[in-house]
Homo-oligomer: A and B are copies of this chain.
Amino acid sequence: MGSIFFAHSGGVTTTINATLSGIIDGYHKHQSSFSNLLVGENGIIGAIKESLIDIKQYTPEELQSIYSQPGAAFGSCRFKLKDPNTQSAQFERILDVFKAHNIKYFIYNGGNDSQDTTLKLSTYFKKNHLDIHCMGIPKTIDNDLYGTDNCPGFGSAAKYLITSIMEAGVDLRSMSNSSTKVFILETMGRHTGWLAASTGLAKAPFGPHVILMPERKFNRSAFLKKVDQSVHRNGYCIISVAEGVKLHEDQLHSNRGVDAFGHQQLGGIAPHIASLIKDELDHKTHYAVADYLQRSARHLASGTDLEQAKALGKFAIESCLKKSFNEKMLAIKRVSDNPYQWDITSTPLSTVANEEKVIPDEFISECGMHITDACRQYLKPLIQGEQWLDYSDGCPNYSALEKKFVEEKCAPYVY
């Protein structure tokens, strides 16, 4: 018997705690087959620092509360492991910690960078003759992972953005006769437009007239024409724009630095679009930047998303039991659209790591500024279902779980 190491990695989502919840349920169901379930504090950093959360120390009520909280209950990270061939200290350390705690299963829940981490670790473990079963579970609001029909976290972020743009749309429509004519909602999504595209599901007349996605080069004159037409035809224009859109080549919207993986911090396109419209068309504009709100709005999580995120966690434990899906990332497979049916499958980590899946051409309308019916059909099942949260004293019942660690067995590590 061996122990399981699980951790969250990369930007959090509304439903990654649902995956942890599924991991815990799966572990409890098959507890006799594993020594322990240890959760890394702050992702892989927890493995390096030997900060391992001991799930056995929590009450059932505490563990149950995890499911209804946004964020990562025990932390996540943006942390790139050094090259094992030239600077192997971190890998050696993880190996020591895993040996000391008899860890035989490594499950990492993250996006493309995180799947790369899993792959590197797996390769290193094999090279050092350590039999550790390594698996990835997908997670990203960006929906940009290869090998899976959709990514847990995306549906909930989409549902939040759709509700938000509809509400702002109702507002705009009420006022446009004598006030603001154009509203812009900036979404996340890095270099893909999935989140901006999802707002196309918002119901008319409160949905976007224009959707700007990085998959299409920004066409300034066509854009301004479309906005002006909408204002003259409808009295107002609703726009959603992905943070990754560039108004011109080599543009940086902000000088906000790079993360551990060297990715430029995006965000801040909405004010530029607002200025462009004000300057060129002289329409009064307003903009919102949803930022972290879209990836943490647990109060609006999608039922489908919660179900899939949790199921993947449970499935991962069962896969450990069967020693199946080694060096694989679990994935969602769409079985049918209507009724929506899905299953769990897998894809090699190597096909996922560091790649970005962009919106396919057939999902983007001819003008390049909206989505097609095929895209709507794809997106629709992902935002279905509501699970209202408990509130107390007017606030959501979020609370921070105390971190209860397993006893350290290795010497302290300074990294």
Per-position binary interface string of chain A over residues 270-312, scored 1 when its CB falls under 8 Å from any chain B CB and 0 otherwise:
1100110010000011111111110111111010000000000
Per-position binary interface string of chain A over residues 160-179, scored 1 when its CB falls under 8 Å from any chain B CB and 0 otherwise:
00111011101111110111
Compute how far the CA of A380 lies from the CA of B394 in the bound complex, rounded to whole angstroms: 8
Q: Are A11 and B77 in contact (CB under 8 A)?
A: no
Given contacts A175-B77, A177-B42, A284-B265, is CB(A167)–CB(B298) below 8 Å? yes
> Out of B78, B203, B284, B299, which one reaches A395, CB within 8 Å?
B203
Contacts of A2 in B (CB 8 A): none
Compute how far the CA of A260 lies from the CA of B178 in the bound complex, rounded to whole angstroms: 8
> Out of B69, B179, B302, B384, which one reaches A77, CB within 8 Å?
B179
Q: Are B302 and A394 in contact (CB under 8 A)?
A: yes
Whole-angstrom distance from the CB of A53 to the nearest CB of chain B?
13
Q: Are B168 and A77 in contact (CB under 8 A)?
A: no
A342 at the A/B interface (Cβ < 8 Å)?
Answer: no
Whole-angstrom distance from the CB of A181 to the nearest CB of chain B?
12
A70 at the A/B interface (Cβ < 8 Å)?
Answer: yes
Q: Are A396 and B293 in contact (CB under 8 A)?
A: no
List residues 173-214 of chain A with CB under 8 A from any CB of chain B.
173-175, 177-179, 183, 201-203, 205-206
Given contacts A45-B178, A70-B171, A172-B292, is CB(A384)–CB(B388) below 8 Å? no
Q: Are A286 and B291 in contact (CB under 8 A)?
A: yes
Q: Which residue from chain B places its CB closest to the CB of A289 in the assembled complex?
A: B289
A313 at the A/B interface (Cβ < 8 Å)?
Answer: no
Q: Are B78 and A175 in contact (CB under 8 A)?
A: yes
Q: Are A396 and B167 in contact (CB under 8 A)?
A: yes
A111 at the A/B interface (Cβ < 8 Å)?
Answer: no
- Give the oligomeric copy count: 2
Compute how far the CA of A265 lies from the CA of B260 in the bound complex, rounded to whole angstroms: 38
Compute how far the CA of A300 lies from the CA of B172 in the bound complex, rounded to whole angstroms: 18
Contacts of A290 in B (CB 8 A): 288, 293
List residues 126-147 of chain A with CB under 8 A from any CB of chain B.
none
Q: Which residue from chain B places its CB closest to the CB of A162 in the assembled complex?
A: B395
A12 at the A/B interface (Cβ < 8 Å)?
Answer: yes
Q: Are B296 and A267 in contact (CB under 8 A)?
A: no
> Out of B257, B286, B293, B380, which one reaches A168, CB within 8 Å?
B293
Q: Are A179 and B259 in contact (CB under 8 A)?
A: yes
Given contacts A162-B394, A167-B70, A395-B162, is CB(A76)–CB(B284) below 8 Å? no
A391 at the A/B interface (Cβ < 8 Å)?
Answer: yes
Binding site for B on A (CB under 8 A): 8, 11-12, 42-43, 45, 69-73, 75-79, 159, 162-164, 166-168, 170-175, 177-179, 183, 201-203, 205-206, 254-257, 259-260, 265, 267-268, 270-271, 274-275, 278, 284-293, 295-300, 302, 380, 383-386, 388, 391, 393-396, 398-400
Q: What are the 10 A-B residue pairs with the smallest beta carbon separation, nearest first? A: A383-B394, A71-B170, A71-B174, A288-B291, A167-B296, A171-B296, A72-B174, A168-B292, A78-B179, A77-B178
